Amino acid sequence: MIKAALIENEEYLRRVRVQINVKNIIIFCIFSILLLVVSANVGMAEERYMGKLIVDKGGKYEIDNKDYVELVLDKDIVISIRLHTKAAHKDVKFSDCRKLEDDGSNFTKWYSIECRNIKSYDGKSAAWLEYYFAGAYVGISPEITPQYSMYKTLKEISGGLGLDVPSRTFIIYADNEPIFEFFCYPENIKNVQE
């Protein structure tokens, strides 16, 4: 009788352990799904762009694949800028960015974000830059649509290069003149016309 009670008790404990394990697995799965949903929603607001340097050679445009910019935005808030250029010995960033308000100037007509204060991307040491980067600043366009003031020009240039119209532009200025112009495309979208 004691043996039968022990066997019954062991069987009961085994069923309880199985039920606890199943509950733990279910809780773990629900938690994992919730974590994925939350992280996906947080990441959805982030826009990631890769910018190609467009060089104007006397009215004939070319793509320079040695220089590029990686841009991460959340709406019109800059999360990250990484500029890779042969004009610097290491990657750089612009650390002070602000959303622009339309003041009637061409600059605020063309750009929704301005960035200043160029620094090394890694933040560990100063980046050696060409002299013309002294005082450089950046204009980042809003998302480019057919209503954008420079849409026709961008469509013509990009079409001549076999590219789609860029989603944004990233223009570096020095002494109030543009010195580098990048056409930016979402990282996950093919940007060559087929």
Residue 190 confidence (pLDDT)? 47
Q: Are residue 56 and residue 22 in the same domain, yes or no?
A: no
Percentage, residues of the chain above pLDDT 70: 72
Q: Are residue 20 and residue 53 in the same domain, yes or no?
A: no
Percentage, residues of the chain above pLDDT 90: 52
Tokens standing for residue 76: 């019109």
Rounded Cα–Cα distance for residues 60 and 188 (Å): 28
Q: Are residue 82 and residue 146 in the same domain, yes or no?
A: yes
In a domain, 193, yes or no: no
Q: Are residue 126 and residue 102 in the same domain, yes or no?
A: yes
Split into its structural domains, the chain has a count of 2
57-89 pLDDT, tens per residue?
988 999 998 999 999 999 889 999 999 998 888
Residue 53 confidence (pLDDT)? 97
Lowest mean pLDDT among 22-26, 109-113, 133-137, 151-155: 22-26
Q: Does residue 188 or residue 164 have the better pLDDT?
A: 164
User: For the whole model, what pTM was predicted?
Assistant: 0.73
> Residues in the chain, how many?
194
Rounded Cα–Cα distance for residues 108 and 105 (Å): 6
Q: Are residue 166 and residue 87 in the same domain, yes or no?
A: yes
Average pLDDT over residues 152-161: 96
Residue 153 has pLDDT above 70, yes or no: yes
Average pLDDT over residues 98-126: 89
In a domain, 191, yes or no: no
Residue appearing with tokens 């366009």: 141
In a domain, 26, yes or no: yes
Average pLDDT over residues 143-164: 96
Average pLDDT over residues 144-151: 95
Which of 26, 44, 62 is a domain's end point? Answer: 44
Q: Are residue 27 and residue 50 in the same domain, yes or no?
A: no
What is the CA angle 186-161-143, rounded to 5?
A: 35
Band the pLDDT of 192: cuts 50, 70, 90. Answer: very low
Cβ neighbors of 133 (< 8 A, separation 6 or more) are 87, 88, 118, 174
Range of the domain at 128: 46-186
116-133 pLDDT, tens per residue?
988 888 877 666 777 777
Residue 23 confidence (pLDDT)? 63
Average pLDDT over residues 134-138: 89
